[in-house]
Chain A
Amino acid sequence: AQKVTQAQTEISVVEKEDVTLDCVYETRDTTYYLFWYKQPPSGELVFLIRRNSFDEQNEISGRYSWNFQKSTSSFNFTITASQVVDSAVYFCALSGPISSNTGKLIFGQGTTLQVKP
């Protein structure tokens, strides 16, 4: 069965600290996609990144970086020099089984990040 686990329910940091959000996934597929979404207090879901299982290169986008390690089934997200505007709930998601090809996303429970000034 496919599953995404975000073990950190809530994280609180002080502005300018670095913070890493963990994501561990389970899948039997050899080809799959991983995603991160941000849900700010306003409630919308904002797409951050999509990675496929064949691309294990780390990705950096400004203060955001992602570390994909297939060997440990993890896709962790790091925010460098956090800012108050980073306060949000962050969701990790896994594409549904390629065999069933539904296009559905399997979401983790989310990690609430609070960045204090």
Chain B
Amino acid sequence: DAEITQSPRHKITETGRQVTLACHQTWNHNNMFWYRQDLGHGLRLIHYSYGVHDTNKGEVSDGYSVSRSNTEDLPLTLESAASSQTSVYFCATQNSLRTDTQYFGPGTRLTVL
């Protein structure tokens, strides 16, 4: 069965460290998204990609970067982790149409101390 996996599922890091969260999908979907979920803010879009070598900034992109070297993966990098980036991160995929349903991975809980 096609799926979306995220790793690690839980991560604790220190302020200032670089952290990379992995997202891997076997849906063969073109579009991939990263969201963060925080109490009081719901889910907010960080970055997204419509295909290989395409990346775009979302509404809360400061301090984050992504790269898309193949269809299956969209890793999210925190360049220098800050306590404000403590959150639950969700990766989502979507078929080619930008109004198609987005399917979400299981999430990564990141704590920055």
Q: Which residues of A contact B102 (CB under 8 A)?
A: 35, 47, 103, 105
Minimal beta-carbon separation of A1 from chain B (angstroms) = 12
Q: Which residues of B contact A101 (CB under 8 A)?
A: 98
Using a Cβ–Cβ cut-off of 8 Å, how many residues does chain B contribute to the interface with A?
27
- Give CA–CA (A103, B96) in the complex, Å: 10
Q: Which residues of B contact A50 (CB under 8 A)?
A: 101
Q: Are A102 and B101 in contact (CB under 8 A)?
A: no
Minimal beta-carbon separation of A97 from chain B (angstroms) = 10
Minimal beta-carbon separation of B38 from chain A (angstroms) = 11
Of B40, B43, B94, B107, which is within 8 A of A103 by CB? B94
Decide if A107 is an interface residue (CB 8 Å cutoff): yes
Of B40, B50, B98, B107, which is within 8 A of A109 by CB? B40
Chain B residues within 8 Å of A, Cβ to Cβ: 31, 33, 40-45, 48, 50, 56, 58, 88, 90, 92, 94, 98-107, 109
